[in-house]
Chain A
Amino acid sequence: MSEEKKFPIKKVALICAKGSIEDVYASLVMANGAVMEGIETKLFFTFFGLDAITKKRMNKLHTSTVGNPAMRMPGGMPFPTWLGGVPGVESAVSSMMLKQMDELDMPPVDEFLEMITAGGGEIFACKLAVDMFKLKKEDLSDEVDSIITIGDFYEMCDGLQTQIIFT
C-alpha cells in the first residue's frame, strides 16, 4: 500500500459571533495558534463577537453565569442558577476567570489581537453587524484591517487547503 498523502492546512478563516470571554478566547487562541504554525490566518468578527474588537468593550468581556450547566463554584460544587442572577456575581466570576487566564500567560484581548497581527494574521469586522450596532471604523481596534461583507469573506477563503471554523 502506498503511503497516504497529507494535505496540511495552509489557510484558516475563523468566525467569532459571540461576545462572552470563552467564545472570544476560543477564537483568539485558535487564530493565534494558527499564526504560530505559519498558517495564513483570517479572523472575522460578527454580531456580539464585535465586542472583542470594539475599543470600549474589548477588555471588559464577561462570562455568563446563568444558563451554563458547566459552571462550578470554586472547589467544584455545582453553581446554582439563581446565584448567577444576583447583581455583581457575573462581574466577580468574570474577573476571576480573567485572573486565572492571566496566570497562564493568556493576554488581555487588545494585546492578543496585537499578537495575531504581529505574526501576520488579519482581523476583519462584519459590515452588516457593524451597521446594526451603529459602529464606525474608529470605534474598532486599530488591529482591525477592514470592515467587509460576507462575500468578501468567502473570496478570502479560496484555496484547496483552506478551512473555515465557526467558534
Chain B
Amino acid sequence: MATKEYAGKTVNVSEDGYFTDASQWSREVAADMAKEVNLELTETHYKVLEFIRDKYNTGGSLTIRSIGKSGIASIKEFYKLFPGAPLKKATLLAGIPKPASCI
C-alpha cells in the first residue's frame, strides 16, 4: 500500500490517491491535498467535504443528487466548487475511498 505525506502527516492511500483510512483525514490535510489539484478550500468546500465524510461514515449512498439536496450547495455550485470531475475530486479531498456512484 502506498503512503503520502500531507501537512506533515503520513496517510495511507490507494493506487489512485484515495484514502484507505478515513480517520487519517483532517482539515489541514485536506488543505494541503487541495494544492495538488490547484484548489483553495473555502468554508463552503469544507462543509461539502464534511457532508461527504458524514455520508460515508453513516453508510449512506453518495450521489451528486444527495449533495444538491444537502442545502450546502446546489449541483451547479458543486460543479463550480470542484471543477472538472466534482464527485471524484471532492471524495479525494474528503479523505474517503473512491466513490462507487453512477449518479
Interface residues of chain A, those whose CB is within 8 Å of chain B, are 29, 32-33, 36-38, 104-107, 111, 114-115, 118-120
Contacts and interface: CB of A to CB of B under 8 A. Distances in A.
A145 to B, nearest CB: 16
B87 A115 contact: no
B1 interface: no
Contacts of A119: 64, 75-76, 79, 86
A118 B102 contact: no
Nearest to A105: B63
25 contacts: A29-B102, A32-B64, A32-B103, A33-B103, A36-B64, A36-B85, A36-B86, A37-B85, A37-B88, A38-B84, A38-B85, A104-B61, A104-B103, A105-B65, A105-B66, A107-B65, A107-B103, A111-B65, A115-B64, A118-B74, A118-B79, A119-B64, A119-B75, A119-B76, A120-B79
Given A105-B61, A106-B103, A115 B68 contact: yes
A92 B64 CA distance: 29
Contact of A118 (B61, B76, B84): B76
SS class of chain B's interface: helix, strand, loop or mixed? helix
A117 B65 CA distance: 13
Interface residues of B, number: 18
Contacts of A106: 103
B27 to A, nearest CB: 25
Contacts of A33: 102-103
Contacts of B87: 36
B79 A105 contact: no
Interface in B58-73: 61, 63-66, 68
Interface in B15-42: none
Interface string B72-103: 00111001000111111000000000000011
A91 B65 CA distance: 26
Given A36-B85, A118-B75, 6 more contacts: A36-B64, A38-B84, A104-B61, A105-B66, A105-B103, A111-B65
